[in-house]
């Protein structure tokens, strides 16, 4: 690990609410749509070309450089507004600690490229009961996005899958729920996946 590292998915706002409930010990019963993928799986993309890089400064100072084999990723259409939601979970560390980033990219359509797309971002430190969120899509921007159709390898699925390659930045911080701590994701770039249609994989989930 390098830490320098139409089925529709829930909106980032819905994920934020669920995570917030989990952090204070009052999470609702788990829905299958929020099940966390088992660690040590097959990686992010079947072709092995997924990744996430990010520079985080503020209350946490991290430079992430995650490669496909140490990543879990998922994505799909947003539920609350036009766009896509993608989640990336990094390597599982001791005591169940794990870092998860959730991007909600507004106005991104199926298979289409985009630029200057408003984006909300949630950064979850699983196992540490800590969450940072922009709570809006006016603080981060995806300045370049493209989508490449990929084969859906799972048997019995009729979904349409795309490799999403994007880069962007944030100009304002993400805060903890109390507002006492802040981080700024100064830059990020990633390659993950989104699925659309019947049989599409479910969205990223809250910790059990």
Give the pLDDT of residue 133. 98
Instruction: Place 29 in a pLDDT band, splitting at 50, 70 and 90.
Output: very low
DSSP element (H, E) containing 145: strand 140-150
Instruction: Tell me the per-residue pLDDT of 86-124, one tens digit each, with 9 for 90 and over.
Output: 999 999 988 889 999 999 999 999 999 999 999 999 999
Long-range contacts of 103-108 (CB under 8 A, 24+ apart): 103/12, 103/142, 103/166, 103/188, 103/190, 104/11, 104/12, 104/13, 104/78, 104/137, 105/142, 105/145, 105/166, 106/78, 106/81, 106/82, 106/137, 107/82, 107/83, 108/82, 108/83, 108/84, 108/142, 108/145
Instruction: Tell me the per-residue pLDDT of 40-74, one tens digit each, with 9 for 90 and over.
Output: 456 899 999 999 999 999 999 999 999 999 999 99
Query: Which of these ranges, 18-22, 55-59, 100-104, 172-176, has the smallest mean pLDDT?
Result: 18-22
Q: How far apart are the C-alpha atoms of 115 and 129, rounded to whole Å?
A: 34
pTM for this model (two decimals): 0.78
Q: How far apart are the C-alpha atoms of 55 and 35, rounded to whole Å?
A: 28
């Amino acid at each position: 690990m390098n830490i320098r590292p139409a089925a529709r998915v829930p909106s980032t706002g819905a994920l934020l609410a669920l995570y917030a409930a989990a952090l204070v010990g009052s999470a609702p019963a788990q829905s299958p749509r929020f099940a966390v993928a088992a660690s040590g799986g097959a990686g992010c993309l079947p072709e092995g070309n997924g990744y996430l890089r990010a520079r985080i400064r503020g209350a946490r100072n991290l430079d992430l450089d995650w490669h496909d084999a140490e990543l879990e990723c998922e994505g799909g259409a947003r539920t609350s507004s036009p766009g896509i939601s993608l989640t990336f979970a990094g390597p599982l560390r001791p005591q169940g600690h794990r870092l998860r980033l959730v991007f909600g990219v507004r106005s991104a359509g199926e298979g289409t490229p985009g630029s200057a797309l408003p984006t909300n971002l949630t950064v979850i430190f699983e196992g540490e009961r800590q969450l940072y969120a922009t709570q809006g899509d006016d603080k981060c921007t995806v300045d370049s996005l493209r989508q490449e159709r990929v084969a859906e390898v799972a048997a019995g699925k009729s979904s349409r899958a795309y490799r999403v390659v994007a880069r962007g930045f944030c100009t304002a911080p993400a805060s903890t729920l109390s507002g006492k701590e802040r981080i700024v994701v100064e830059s990020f770039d990633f390659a993950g996946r989104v699925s659309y249609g019947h049989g599409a994989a479910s969205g990223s989930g809250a910790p059990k």
